[in-house]
Amino acid sequence: MPPLRPIIISITTKEPSIPYSQQISPSWHHRICEITLFISLMIFGFYGLELFDLTSIEVPSVTLVPAGITVVYSFIINIFAKDERIRIHSTICYSLLSITVATLVATTGWLYSPFVGIWLAAIIFCGFFGNIMLIAFLLGTNLCLAYLAFTSPNYDILAQIFGANITLLGSYIIWRKQSMPEDNATLAIAEPQQTMAHNDAKSDIIINSIADGVILIDAKGIVRMINPAAETLLGWPAHDAINLDYRSVIKLTNENGDAVPDDLSPIRQVALSNKTATNNNLVLITKSGKRTMVSTLVSPVGSSSQQDGVIVVFRDITREKEQERQKAEFISTASHEMRTPVAAIEGYLGLALSPQTATIDNKARLYLQKAHESTQHLGRLFQDLLTVSKAEDARIIPRQKLVNITTFTNAMCEAYAPKAQEKGLTLTFMPSEHEGGRKILPMFFANVDPDHLQEILSNLIDNAIKYTLKGNIAVGVTGDADNVAISVEDSGIGIPPEDLPHMFQKFYRVDNSDTREVGGTGLGLYISRRLTEGNGGNISVSSTFGRGSTFFVQFPRINNAQTEQLSTGQQP
C-alpha cells in the first residue's frame, strides 16, 4: 500500500465538554448517513464488476451481509429519520459501516487489501462521534496491527501502524471544537464556516492519501485541483499547474510516440460524451520530457445536462508493462525453441508408424500412435503460444486481400466434412440455394487476411465438432449493405450462462464433466478474437446450455464498386 499522506489541520482549542457530534447541526449527521450509504453501495458495485469480470478486485461474499444491513439501514434513515433522532441513527450507521469495512479488509489481505484506503477514510470520521468512538477505534486498530506485527513482522506493518495512528490523531484534531457557542446567533454565524472548513479538510485528506494521480479539470478545461501523486507523475508543482489549461499540463502520446490529437484525447471525449473512459495504452510526457506508461480513467463531474468538468486519474503502469513484455518474450522464445525438438520427435514417430520405413506389431503401433497424437497436440500448443505472444506484442500484421467470404467458408466446410463424418455428425453449409437444379451461392466480399480467416474458421468449426456428441453443425454466411457475417451453429453441449462472458479470454475453458473429456488449450477462441479484431471485425457467441452454441464472426462488407477497385489494384 502507498504511504499515507494525511493533512493535519492545526487549531488552537480547549478541551470540549461534550462531543462535537452533539454540537453541530443535524444536517452533518444526515451527511454521515449519506456517506455510509454511498460507501456501502460502492462495495456492492465492486462485487458487481467482479461478477462481470470488469475488475480484478475480489469482494468476498461474507462482506455482503454487513454491507447489505448497512445499505438498508442508512437508506431508511436518509429518507425517514427526523432531526431530533438523527444523532443516534448516524452513530449506528457509522458503526455498521465500520464493521462492514473491517470485515472487507480482514477477508481481502489485511494490510495488502485493496480496500485499506476505504478503512483509512472511515477512520477520519471517528472523531466526529466523540472520544469514546475515537478510543474504540484507537484500541481496535492498534490491537489488530500489533497482532499482525507479532505474527509476521516487517517494515510495511510499522508504516501502517504509524499511518493509522497519524490518521486517528488527525481525526481527533479535525473534529475538536473550542467550546459551545454562547447563543444561537453565534452558532448560526459560525456553523457555515466550520462546515466548509471541515468539508475541505476531509476532502484534502482523502484525495492526498490516494497513490494515483488525480486532477480536476473544470468545464472550460482549466486545472482546478492536482494531488501530490499527480504532481510527481506530471512533474508539475500544484502552484504552477492550477489555473492553467489542461493541454499545457497533460501531454499524452501513443505507444509509438505520436501525440494524441485533441479530438481523440480521452479528456476531450469524456467532456463531449459525458461518459467515463479508460485507456491502458497511453504514454504521459512529464514537464521534463520523461515518458511514463500510464493507465487513465476519466470521469465526468456533474449531471448529464450540465457538466462541471472531468476528473482524471493516472496510474503508472511502466513496471507492469515491462513485466508483460518480459513474460511475452519468454513465452515466445521458449515456444520457438521447443518447436524444433517436438517437430523432430513427431517426424521420427511418423517414420516409425509408416509401413514403408518400419515394421512393428499392433501393440507397439498403438503406443506410437498415442505418442504421435500427444506430440501433435504439444506442437499445436506451442504454435498457439507463439501466436498469442505475437498478438499481444502487435506483431501480427494482417495482409488483407479481397476475399469472397462465401466460397472461402464453403471450402473450409468441405475440408472439415470428413472429420465430422468420422464422428457421425452432419456438417452443412447453409447459404446454398438451388434454382433449376443448380447450386447458387450468394457473393459477399470482405477485405481480410486469408490466413487469419482460415485460422478463425478452423478454430470455430473444429470446436463445434469436438463439443458436439451427436446431431449436426450448420455453417452460414449472411450479409447486409454494411457487414458480412459467418455463423457456426452446433447442437452440442452448450455453454453455461456464467461462462459466456469469459469465452474469449486467454486460457479460459469451461470446467464441467462434459468438457473435461475434450482436450484443448483455452487459446483457440482468444486467438480467434485477436485475429478477428485485427482485421476490423468482431466475434461473439450465443448459447443455450445443453442445446448447443452459435458463434458469429462479422467483417465490414466490401460493396461492388469497392470490389472492382480492389480487384484492379491487386492485378500484377
Domain 401-569 class, CATH top level = alpha beta
pLDDT of the residue at 174: 72
Q: What is the pLDDT of residue 64?
A: 81
Sequence-distant (≥ 6) Cβ neighbours of residue 441 within 8 angstroms: 406, 407, 410, 431, 432, 433
Beta bridge partners of 343: none
Tens digit of pLDDT for each residue in 455-479? 899 989 988 998 888 889 999 999 8
* Sequence ranges of the domains in the chain: 20-209, 213-316, 321-392, 401-569
Q: Model confidence over 288-320: pLDDT tens digits?
A: 888 888 888 888 887 666 667 888 998 888 888
Q: Within 13 A of 415's CA, how many CA atoms are on the CB side?
A: 12
- Do the Cβ atoms of 70 and 93 come closer than 8 Å? yes
- The pTM assigned to this predicted structure is 0.44
Confidence of residue 20 (pLDDT cuts 50, 70, 90): very low
Q: What is the pLDDT of residues 72-96, one digit of tens each?
A: 888 888 777 776 677 787 888 888 8
User: Are 235 and 290 contacting, i.e. CB atoms less than 8 angstroms apart?
Assistant: yes
Question: DSSP secondary structure string, 197-221?
Answer: HHHHHHHHHHHHH-SSEEEEEETTS
Contact 309, 219 (CB under 8 A): yes
Does residue 445 or residue 380 have the better pLDDT? 445
CATH T-level assignment (fold) for domain 213-316: Beta-Lactamase (3.30.450)
Instruction: Please say whether the beta carbons of 232 and 217 come within 8 A.
Output: no
Q: Residue 537 has what pLDDT? A: 92
Same-fold call for 213-316 versus 401-569: no
Look at residue 283 and tell me whether its pLDDT is greater than 80: yes
Distance CA 97, CA 145 (A): 20
Q: Which helix (H) or strand (E) holds 126?
A: none
The pLDDT value given to residue 9: 33
3-class state of residue 306 by DSSP? coil
Whole-number pLDDT of residue 343: 77
Do the beta carbons of residue 426 and residue 473 sit within 8 Å? yes
